[in-house]
Amino acid sequence: MRIGTRQVGGGAGVYVIAELGVNHDGDAARAIDLVDAAAHAGADAVKFQLFRAEMLMSAASELAAYQRSAGESDPREMLRRLELPIEAMARAAQRAHDHGLHAIVTPFSVELVPAAEAMGVWDAYKTASPDVVHRPLLDALAATGMPMIVSTGAADLAEVSRAAAWLADATRAGRVAMLQCVSCYPTADADAAIRGMDAIRTVFAGPVGYSDHTRGVDTGGVAASLGAEVLEKHLTLSRSLPGPDHAASLEPDEFRAYTTLARDESAMRAWMSDEHAEDGSSRGARRGTRRELAVREDPRWGPPAKVVLACERDVRRVSRQSIVLTRSLRAGERIGLGDITFKRPGLGLEPWRVEEVVGRRARHDIDADRPIALEDIEAGAPAEATR
Asked if omega into 242 is within 30° of 0 (cis), the reply is no
- pLDDT digits 0-9 by tens, 229-276: 999 999 999 999 988 899 889 999 999 999 999 999 998 888 776 654
Query: Looking at the domain assignment, is residue 385 inside a domain?
Result: no
Whether 294 and 337 map to the same domain: the answer is: no
Whether 192 and 330 map to the same domain: the answer is: no
Query: Looking at the domain assignment, is residue 127 inside a domain?
Result: yes
Whether 329 and 294 map to the same domain: the answer is: no
Whether 71 and 148 map to the same domain: the answer is: yes
The C-alpha atoms of residue 336 and residue 28 are separated, in whole angstroms, by 39
Q: Look up the domain containing 226 and give its range.
A: 2-301
Whether 58 and 179 map to the same domain: the answer is: yes
Domain end, chosen from 269, 301, 333, is at 301
Query: Looking at the domain assignment, is residue 293 inside a domain?
Result: yes
- pLDDT digits 0-9 by tens, 120-145: 999 999 999 999 999 999 999 999 99
Domain end, chosen from 268, 301, 334, is at 301
Q: What is the CATH number of the domain that holds 150?
A: 3.20.20.70
Query: Looking at the domain assignment, is residue 314 inside a domain?
Result: no
Rg value, the chain, Cα:
21
| Total domain count, the chain | 2
Query: Looking at the domain assignment, is residue 368 inside a domain?
Result: yes
Contact 342, 322 (CB under 8 A): yes
- The per-residue pLDDT of the chain, averaged, comes to 92
Query: Looking at the domain assignment, is residue 387 inside a domain?
Result: no
Domain end, chosen from 301, 330, 365, is at 301
Over 80: is that where the pLDDT of 171 sits?
Answer: yes
Whether 272 and 358 map to the same domain: the answer is: no
Q: How confident is the model at residue 387 (pLDDT cuts 50, 70, 90)?
A: very low
Over 70: is that where the pLDDT of 286 sits?
Answer: no
The C-alpha atoms of residue 221 and residue 260 are separated, in whole angstroms, by 8
The C-alpha atoms of residue 24 and residue 107 are separated, in whole angstroms, by 17
